[in-house]
Amino acid sequence: VTAAPQAPDVRPLAGFRVVDLTVAWAGPFGAMLLGDLGAEVLRVENIHVWLSHTRNWRARPTRREVPATDPITSGYPYGEPGDRPWERSPAYVPLHRNRRSVTIDVRTERGRGYLKRLVEVSDVVYDNNVPETLEKLGITWEAVSAWNPRAIMFRAPAYGLRGEYRNYRAWGTHIEAVLGHTLLRGYPDADPSGTPPVYACDFQTGVIGAFAVMAALFARERSGKGQLVELSQAENGLSLFPQAIMDWTLNGVVQATTGNRGVHGEAPSGVYACRAGGWIAIDVCEDAEWRALANVFGRPELADAPEFATAEARRARLDELDSVLGELTRERDATALMHALQAAGVPAGEVQRADQAYHCPHLRGRGFFERLENRYTGAHDYPGLMFRMPASGLRIDPPTTLGEFNEYVYREILGLGEAEYEELVASGEIGDTFDETIR
């Protein structure tokens, strides 16, 4: 019996190796996308250093110490942190598929030597730390380009590598504030101090970062050399707000929050309460959609009422429309109403809880979720690839676990002898659990 010939790897980034030094969410998300597209992404961590808010806020909380308030923090498999909570956080695991975890103690001379050797045989160094973190370790562009002139170094600190804000600390929510996003959302009738956080730039740093790396790899095909790509998460995020920015630069108008109203003339436009805590978003653009909506609710007289029949008329009565719709939706089931409105051609969608999206028949019907299993979380369906590239043979390798690929990286990639590798493990410099002193 002969093995079937293996199909060649034609994933878009097949053959490229990425050294992933990222933290929190924005960096890991971009590194994940590179892995999804076929790059070998080596997730570098240090078992002697805990990066808070990357693998959750603490390494070893007991079950009693897990707060009950926020499922992202507390939603361990079956509610149990277990003896390796860092392998079980829903904030971490789903962003770490298509990776190979290796631990390096970059605090030591020897560890930095291994990292240097890894960079020598890699194509990309992918980072989103505050600049001084890598500078203290000597992992600068000058060093990386000297180690490997073909290497691309991607760095995405919050505010860039130069300028007064370069070492300012930030999470996504702080970047949103600086970008003006926090004042552009929220309830129009409430003080902004009650506006809860979103993390739009974590998403955008990820996708634009993955693009930037691909563009640099593309350019390298011609030039033969790597380059430094610097992405300020804040400046990158400016692209999300053309309405507000252009209104200021063109007209001197400072935009404020519109709540749930669309910013391009949709009327009615909003999110309306339904039965049993459900909510439905409705955005009507065309008069025909308004007429269809009136019929779905069994209120045909609204269709041709002069105060609502035209977009112009409806835009002048947004508050009134909100009360009309609020009455009409209140006793309806949000899911059924979404389908009824959409079937009639009215733009409407349920504001779905996480469990509703997870069981959504459309996502399921398209095969969006994929069953993945690793030794510390068991088998679960995970959100899958962001898009379908039918001819590229994309696949998802299960979420990696700490140090899972140590032997592969040190022995096969770096070519360490058995004795040196065994000594590294025995000395506790590398491993598959965090240092016991880290609680």
Partner 1 sequence: MGAALDGVRVLDLTHLLTGPYATRFLADYGADVIKIEPPGGEPGRWLAPFQGGEPDPERSGVFFALNLNKRGVVLDLRRPAGRDALLRMAAGADLVVDNFRPGVLERLGIGYEALREANERVVLLSVSNFGQTGPYRDYKGSETILYGMGGEMFSVGRVDREPLKQGGTVALFQAGGGALVAAMAGIMAARRFGIGQWIDFSIYEALASSADRRVMTMMAYAYSGQIATRQGEAVFFSNGIFPCADGYVELFAEQTKWDRFVRMLGDPPGLLGPRWREPGALSDAALKEEFDVVFYPWLMTHKKRDIWRLAAEHSILAAPLYTARDLLDDPVFRERGAWAEVEHGVMGRVTVAGRAFDMSDTPWRLRRPAPLLGEHTEEVLAEAGLTPEMIRAVLGEAAA
| Helix or strand (DSSP H, E) at 363 | helix 361-365
119-178 binders of partner 1 (CB under 8 A): 141, 156, 159-160, 162-165, 167-175, 177-178
Write out the two tokens for 438: 């880290």
253-282 binders of partner 1 (CB under 8 A): 253-255, 257, 259-260, 262-266, 269-273, 279, 281-282
- Shortest Å distance, C-beta 175 to partner 1: 7
Nearer to partner 1, 203 or 421 (CB): 203
Instruction: Tell me the torsion sign for CA atoms 74, 80, 81, 84.
Output: negative
Nearer to partner 1, 335 or 433 (CB): 335
337-396 binders of partner 1 (CB under 8 A): 342, 345-355, 357-358, 360-363, 365-366, 368, 377, 380-383, 385-392
195-224 binders of partner 1 (CB under 8 A): 195-196, 198-200, 202-204, 206-208, 210-212, 214-219, 221-223
Write out the two tokens for 123: 């194509």
Residue range at the interface with partner 1 (CB under 8 A); choices 194-202, 305-313, 412-420, 427-435? 194-202
Nearer to partner 1, 235 or 304 (CB): 235
| Helix or strand (DSSP H, E) at 281 | strand 279-283
Q: Are 88 and 81 in contact (CB under 8 A)?
A: yes
300-319 binders of partner 1 (CB under 8 A): none
Residue range at the interface with partner 1 (CB under 8 A); choices 112-120, 234-242, 411-419, 430-438? 234-242
Tally of CA atoms within 13 A in the half-sphere of 357 that contains its CB: 8
DSSP of 131-176, one letter per residue? HHHHHHTT--HHHHHHH-TT-EEEE--TT-SSSTTTT----HHHHH
Distance CA 162, CA 170 (A): 15
- Does 55 interact with partner 1 (rule: CB under 8 A)? no
- Does 51 interact with partner 1 (rule: CB under 8 A)? no
Nearer to partner 1, 21 or 229 (CB): 229
- Shortest Å distance, C-beta 430 to partner 1: 27
Long-range Cβ pairs for the range 104-110 (8 Å, 24+): 104/44, 104/45, 104/46, 104/430, 105/46, 105/47, 105/48, 105/429, 105/430, 106/44, 106/46, 106/137, 106/139, 107/46, 107/48, 107/49, 108/429, 110/429
Q: Of 186, 268, 398, 431, which lies in the binding site for partner 1, with binding defined by CB under 8 A?
A: 186
Distance CA 144, CA 123 (A): 11
Residue range at the interface with partner 1 (CB under 8 A); choices 101-109, 249-257, 306-314, 408-416? 249-257
Q: Of 19, 23, 26, 296, which lies in the binding site for partner 1, with binding defined by CB under 8 A?
A: 26
- Does 192 interact with partner 1 (rule: CB under 8 A)? yes
- Shortest Å distance, C-beta 298 to partner 1: 21
DSSP of 196-226, one letter per residue? PP--HHHHHHHHHHHHHHHHHHHHHHHH---
Q: Are 99 and 125 in contact (CB under 8 A)?
A: no
Nearer to partner 1, 349 or 407 (CB): 349
Nearer to partner 1, 40 or 429 (CB): 40
Distance CA 31, CA 228 (A): 16
Nearer to partner 1, 114 or 272 (CB): 272
Distance CA 310, CA 306 (A): 7
Write out the two tokens for 288: 């025909």
Per-residue binder mask for partner 1 (CB under 8 A), 391-430, x = binder: xx--------------------------------------
- Does 236 interact with partner 1 (rule: CB under 8 A)? yes
Task: Say how many residues touch partner 1, by CB under 8 A.
Answer: 163
- Does 86 interact with partner 1 (rule: CB under 8 A)? no
